[in-house]
Amino acid sequence: MRYAEWCTAAPSLEADIAAAAMGLDDLGHSRVLYGCLKELPDGESVDEGTYTNVRYLDQPWTDWSQFVAANAVLDTAFTLMIESLAGGNVELLRSRLRKMLQEERYHYLHGRSWLREAPARDAVVSAWGEALEWFGPDGGDVDQLKKAGKIALGVPELRRSLEEKLETNAPSAGIAWDRWNPITRRTSEGGIDQGTLDMLQGLAEKRYMPAGGQRVEV
C-alpha cells in the first residue's frame, strides 16, 4: 500500500511505474502467504480481524528516501525470510513460495539501484532497525523454528545475509528487547492509520457503492 501511494509521486515516470508494479506484486504475495497460513496446522486460530505491521509502515512516507530505504532494506529482509521458509521442511511453503522469490529479485535490484543514487542515510538506518526488530532476538521464535527445521535460517544468519545483500554492516540499533512483542514483532505500540487500513480491507471504496451493493446500470 505504501508503494502504491508513490505511483504518481516518484522522481521519474519509470520510478512511478516500478512503484505501482512492486505494490501489486507485494499485494499478491501477501495473499499467497495468508492463504498458506490458513492451511497450516493451527491456521484456523488466525484472527482475521487483526493486522500487524512494522513501525516503518505506520504512516505514509513523506520523502522519497523512505521509499528507497523500505525497498532496499525492508523488502530485502522480508525476501530473506521467504527464502528461509522456502528452504525449510514445511512442504506447503516449499512448493508455493518459489515464484514469489523470482518476482522479489526485481525488487532487490530496483532497491539497490536507487540506494546508490538517492541520499537516504537516515531512512536507511531507521529501516535497518525495523528489519532487525522484525527478525527478532537471538534465541527467540525464529531460532526455535530453525532448530525444528521449519525454516532454513536463524536470526544470526538472517542478519548476516542482509548485510551481505546490502554490502554494509548493520548499524547499532540499540533495540530494547525487553519491550519486544513476539506477536507484533516490534517494541512499540501503534499501527497503520485508519484510512490506510480501510483501503486495505476494501472499506474505503464501499462509500461509492449504491445501497445494497447493486450495480447501477447506465
Q: What is the rounded end-to-end Cα distance, in angstroms, of the chain?
A: 32
The pLDDT score that the predictor gives to residue 216 is: 44
- pTM (2 decimals)? 0.81
User: Residue ranges of the chain with pLDDT lower than 50?
Assistant: 44-45, 215-218
Domain extent, residue 85, equals 4-45+62-194
Upper half-sphere CA count for residue 111 (Cβ side, 13 Å) = 25
The mean of the pLDDT values for the chain is 82
pLDDT for 171 equals 84
Q: What is the Cα–Cα distance from 194 to 192, expressed in whole angstroms? A: 7
Q: Is residue 215 part of a domain?
A: no
Task: Give the pLDDT confidence score for residue 93 in this predicted structure.
Answer: 87
CATH of the domain at 182: 1.20.1260.10
- Number of domains into which the chain is organized: 1
Residue 53 lies inside a defined structural domain of this protein = no
pLDDT at residue 218 in the model:
37
Answer for the pair 145, 135: CB distance below 8 angstroms, yes or no: no
Question: Is 213 a member of any domain?
Answer: no
109-131: per-residue pLDDT in tens? 877 888 777 778 889 899 999 99
